[in-house]
Structure 1
Amino acid sequence: MPQNTPRLNLPFLQPSQAQKHVTHNEALRKLDLTVQLSLTSLNSITPPAVPNQGDIHALGATPTGDWTGHAGKLAAWIDTAWHFVAPETGWLAWDLSSGSLKVWDGSLWIDPPISTDNLPGVGVGTDHDSTNKLSVRGAATLLSHEGHGHQLKINKANAGETASLLFQSNWTGHAEMGLSGSTGFSVKVSADGDTWNEALRFDPATGLASGSAVQASANDTTAGRLMRADYGFGPGNLLGTVSELAGAPTGAVIERGGNASGDYVRFADGTQICSGSLSAVTCQTPEGSLFASQTSNWTFPMAFAADSTPAVSGNGGVSGRFLGCDAPSTTQVVIKVLSTIADATEAAPTVLALGRWY
């Protein structure tokens, strides 16, 4: 017959054994030490100066004093003496120092392994519910990296669903950003949590922005709205090529240019100014009571709009001369330099035409 039990090493009572109560009491002492095990300290190496009856310490790797040579064992103070028991793999104990459950893995007291897969829910500082499977109550929530970057992913089943961040005050939603009912990223705001205003929406194909926070048209001057590049003007499009669509400007504010016929300036509102300097002429050819000299046709450096009749003016080149002209077309005009006296002095007239390019 074996002397001890195979698991807890409790002594058996033997046939014809004297003082059976000693063996029985030793077994009870060992049961008292190991059953419903609670530990006063964990990984201890120095015995307390005044131990308490029934205290049990889980010894560390290099115990000293009365614990020397009992590394990894349990040291129990019973009846003014230390009693040592070697724990078996799988023993559970409550650590009084940390208020947590521990398990002996054969070499260390560790936290019991816990599966975190397919949990019904997790509440940190609060309760979770059927909708909020993960609930956290605290001053802050930290999601940090593990040596590199970190992504927070919010996935939805299909394009028509919602994947967003909702910001609330006293459980009333006031701001939301994410993919709301589409794959376009949007930012929405609400004063009461019921009526929502889509302030910004970004087209996933082009990246262009729209929404109530952005100009709705070129004439939209609502205070506080963001100006669209194609509706507003700045250093990038102040000077450049002017253009229009159905009478509305779509290009730069001012366009300047020139050629052999002269210079021109076009404005976004449709105004066009052409200027030029003609060949030098004299005033010796009589015309009625005046003297005149006719120049070649002036072709405008930039044509005017078909329904625009430009106003032409200029200077005869020297004092006493003035300009006259036949009715101008959209592309050219015939200029006459007139003088009240015959004058053989050659002088170059300057001309100016004002009209519209659309």
Structure 2
Amino acid sequence: METTHTLSLPYIIAAQAQKHVTHNEALRMLDALTQIAVASRIVASPPTTPAGGECWLVPDTGAAGEFAGHGGELAVFQDGAFTFLTPKLGWSVYVADEGVQIVLGLNGWQDLVSGSGSGNGGGGVTGQLGLNAAASTTTRLAVGSDNSLFTHDVDGSHRMAINREDTASTASMIWQTGFQADAELGLTGLDDMALKVRSSGGDWANALTVDRETGLATIVAAPHTDNMLINSDMRINQRSFGGGALAGGTFGYDRWKGDASGGTILRNGAGRVELASGSVVQPVETFPAGFDSLVFGVAGLTGGVLRVTVEGTTTDIQPDQPFGFSTFSVTPGVSGSVELSAPSGAVLFDRVSLVAGGQSRMACDRHPDIEFALCVRYFCTSLGEGQVLQDYSGSIGYHMGICYAGGNIASQRISFPRRMRVPPTVSYYAPNSGNPIQSGKWQLLGPQAGYANANSMGVAELTQTAFVLNVVFPSASSGDAYLMCGNWSASAEL
């Protein structure tokens, strides 16, 4: 045997002349193969002015010049000429222009480690990792196993995070059969959680969505049983509407307003809705995608015909039946409205609903807290129900907040109960604690005796979740703490 098994280093033969030649050749090979680093693995032709000791991994295809015929070999420039060495299974090479460590496996060269350090605690970054499966530039982690386990560490918990760049991107999990996607769960180009399924024909459809604002889950592919009408029995009344006439475009009970000509409506002591005359309307933000038929339903209708108009189509529902229904055609994914009127005299009913699909059914009742949260997305106020939004002549139900003045301006950040549909329009209402009312202006109690009326008010930093109220007072001193008094409302109605 004239060479070593692993590195093929030449042996010095007994009684060999010029032993230094063989010895130096072995040293040159060791110099090239120990701690191997190559300048590149994509250079197909020798550089014009290589430096001594520089090394390249010749590409498998396209090699030219002195590299021709040496694809897949290491080309080392030594003593003014190239020496070519054939890598063996398991050899590890650092590629300088990519900053990666590669190893020769059964399937060729594979990226091993890039960055500084390696392994546990070393700070290294694994470019690709295949565990019994082939990784790639798009699937950087591949695991071939009948089972996988991710377990806790020091704090006893374990959470998996799937991150995306922005709302338009995707963060999801996909279930496959034979490497063909069949279902997907996650954030798929929207902020709402979605479950999608794929038909045998290759078409994708949403099966379930969860609204990020309300937490409400909607089964999309089944009949839409969630009520598109909010406050369908008119029990939520943040504006403290006392019942009676509603002028055109004016909201009374939450989410319900008079139509262009107004209407007269009341929720009576028995919890039933009385529509005496005219019409009331509820704007609908978006008709559900994927459905061009909606079913309107009314429970406990008595007294006369209820006329219902949805997107220009009108129908009459007869009274004295447990439930009355009518089907309407709409354009999916657009906004619209539902109008109720009593053409033949006053009517009473318990509640109404609007659901997607062609089956005559009433929507299920939502929990009152969820119903209130849906209303607050469109309108909210500092006052409780039963307290009318107006300038008060007595000290009743007003909002109070501690603030510090800068000059004669006092500022307070006020948060809405929950995220609103859009940045709302904010209105102010004055209390009265001893001073004559100045309509729409708050009052200030501070180091000076008594209350002072504001000179002016303004909103800054208005978002869907909060606003900053700046109040100018005639005698506020910078750095002093004050108590601001007044009421506010915020409307993001359609």
TM range (shorter): 0.3 to 0.5
Q: Give the structure with higher Rg (CA).
A: 1
TM-score by length of 2: 0.36
TM-score by length of 1: 0.47
